[in-house]
Amino acid sequence: MAKPLSILFVSSEVYPFAKTGGLADVSYSLPLALRELGHDIRVMMPKYGSISERKNRIHEINRLRDFAIMVGDVESIATVKSSAITTSRSKVQAYITTNQNYFEANKGFYSDPITGIDYPDNDERFIFFNRTVLQTCILLGWFPDIIHCNDWQTGLVPAIARTDYAEEFKNAKIIYTIHNFGNQGSFPASSLMKTGLTSPEDIAKITHNDRLNFMKAGIAYSDQITTVSPTYCAEILRNEQSSNGLNEVLRSRGDDMLGILDGVDLLTWNPKIDPFIAKNYDNLSVQDKIYSKEALLHRFGLPMRSNTPLIGMISRLNEQKGVRLIIEAAEQLFAENLQFVLLGEGDPALEAGLQEITERYPEKASIKIGFDDELAHLIEAGSDMFMMPSLYEPCGLNQQYSLVYGTVPIVRSTGGLADTVREFNPQKADGNGFVFQNFDAQEMVSAVRRALAMYSRQDVWSMVVQNGMTEDLSWSRSAKQYSELYHNLMQIEI
């Protein structure tokens, strides 16, 4: 094994403490996988009001109690607490930043859970968090070799490390991973002064379209930028759509860009040991999926029908995830012999559109609005097919979980979906799913029809299922790529 490194991994969501999507899963699995490779890795995140100290074994550390952090010219008090993420195989130290006003008082992470409206002080909340991250290292006397930041919520960490604390962190290499280029942390110009960065050059590097842009800061000040799949990497460099013009800035760092695919944490997402499904199974006992299918249909109030495939979907309900296509194509989709269950929350208009479908096709479609981790596992196990018609998808974890669970993905060819799902070809017995190219309801319906045609031939169907279930999608593969990247940056021979 190459030299172990000290690594600080900064994220606004870490499973099981806080999760709205894939970022939390990555911020759990990747540090654990890097720990298994021998690195001293520690994660840092905010403590939102919904995180229970007792349940998560969070406790105080004397050295990190009540220290001052400036947000603009206002002083706030930070206390950083300690916990850990653990599996049966390894354990990673977690530092959890608390502050009454910015985090403890809020039950939501970025927006009010009742109204769905973003917190008005999100700029201050994450400036505070970013400053606390570096101050914590200083108080601990721990100066990691690598600082690995993730998404907009951590974008100012590289900027602060390279300006205010340039001396302290001069030996650290900084990596910035973009999990979603669509959310950049853009705030009015009046937020700029709150960052504490004052020189004109620094202000220019964190300003985009006359606004503070956290993600631009991350891109500008890091040594290396990564994103979560090779195809998404190419797409965001090329694509002006929904990039808010930031792709120009990204292109100027094109030589320092790399796409590394996320993996699957096989201790959490694995039908062989999953505690949330009706009966455990593996690729040699796929027929036992039926028990989870029965349980799932029951949970969603749908009747069990033989020879009728069940399509599952777990998704944030927004433009990105392509829910609109399902609503647009409902009439054609539900004319087919299929059933559909969806778990998700988000845009009320999309929720209403889906609800309307369930009223029109009460025996075929059912949805649950909300966030339910256990039910998500049952959907992966109990569905025959899994739908991800995304407009864009940086990596996508659910299609990978689906492959592991023998649940055949139907996806649009974009980002990480294009890198992980290959159209099934019955002649060659090759491929693990069904793929359509354009963001178009008709193309999606055609892909579903191709899947239904294969489903009706059980011998052929079992080939698609087996192809997915026998792939290596584990995190250890991706963690090795990150580890190699860290060593390259440190110019250490591997």
* Interface stretch with ligand ADP, choices 41-49, 77-85, 287-295, 341-349 (CB under 6 A): 341-349
Closest distance between ligand ADP and the C-beta of residue 394, in Å?
A: 7
Decide if residue 22 touches ligand ADP (CB under 6 A).
yes
Exactly one of 256, 319, 372, 440 binds ligand ADP (CB under 6 A); which one?
372
Decide if residue 398 touches ligand ADP (CB under 6 A).
yes
Binding positions for ligand ADP, 50-109, rule CB under 6 A: none
The pattern of x and - marking residues 227 through 266 that bind ligand ADP according to CB under 6 A reads: ----------------------------------------
Provide φ and ψ at 123, rounded to 5°: -60, -50
Query: Who contacts 256 (Cβ-Cβ below 8 Å, separation ≥6)?
Result: 222, 223, 224, 225
> CB of 241 within 8 A of CB of 232?
no
Closest distance between ligand ADP and the C-beta of residue 343, in Å?
A: 5
Exactly one of 316, 449, 450, 487 binds ligand ADP (CB under 6 A); which one?
316
Length of the chain: 494
The strand pairing partners of 180, in sequence order, are none
Decide if residue 397 touches ligand ADP (CB under 6 A).
yes
Between 387 and 454, name the residue whose CB sits nearer to ligand ADP.
387
Exactly one of 5, 13, 25, 29 binds ligand ADP (CB under 6 A); which one?
25
* Interface stretch with ligand ADP, choices 20-28, 73-81, 150-158, 212-220 (CB under 6 A): 20-28
DSSP 66-107: SEEEEETTEEEEEEEEEEEEE-SS-EEEEEEEE-IIIIIT-S
Closest distance between ligand ADP and the C-beta of residue 154, in Å?
A: 16
Closest distance between ligand ADP and the C-beta of residue 373, in Å?
A: 5
Tokens of 492: 């250490």
> CB of 71 within 8 A of CB of 128?
yes
Decide if residue 341 touches ligand ADP (CB under 6 A).
no
Query: Who contacts 473 (Cβ-Cβ below 8 Å, separation ≥6)?
Result: 263, 264, 400, 403, 404, 420
Strands 224-227 and 173-178, bridge-based pairing: parallel
Other C-beta atoms closer than 10 Å to the C-beta of 309 total: 22
* Interface stretch with ligand ADP, choices 153-161, 337-345, 349-357, 481-489 (CB under 6 A): 337-345
Tokens of 356: 């309307």
> What whole-number distance in Å separates Cα of residue 418 and Cα of residue 422?
7
* 368 CB burial (10 A radius; 0-12, 13-18, 19+): middle
Helix (H) or strand (E) holding 312: strand 310-317
Helices (H) and strands (E) in the chain, counts: 17, 19
* Interface stretch with ligand ADP, choices 102-110, 192-200, 274-282, 342-350 (CB under 6 A): 342-350
Number of residues near ligand ADP (by CB under 6 A): 18
Query: Who contacts 410 (Cβ-Cβ below 8 Å, separation ≥6)?
Result: 311, 385, 386, 387, 388, 389, 433, 434, 435, 436, 444, 447, 448, 451
* Interface stretch with ligand ADP, choices 52-60, 75-83, 298-306, 389-397 (CB under 6 A): 389-397
Decide if residue 345 touches ligand ADP (CB under 6 A).
yes
Residue nearest to ligand ADP (CB): 22
* Interface stretch with ligand ADP, choices 65-73, 87-95, 102-110, 340-348 (CB under 6 A): 340-348
Exactly one of 61, 84, 327, 376 binds ligand ADP (CB under 6 A); which one?
376
* Interface stretch with ligand ADP, choices 139-147, 204-212, 297-305, 310-318 (CB under 6 A): 310-318
Q: For binding to ligand ADP (CB under 6 A), which residues are involved?
A: 21-23, 25, 314-316, 343-345, 371-373, 376, 395-398
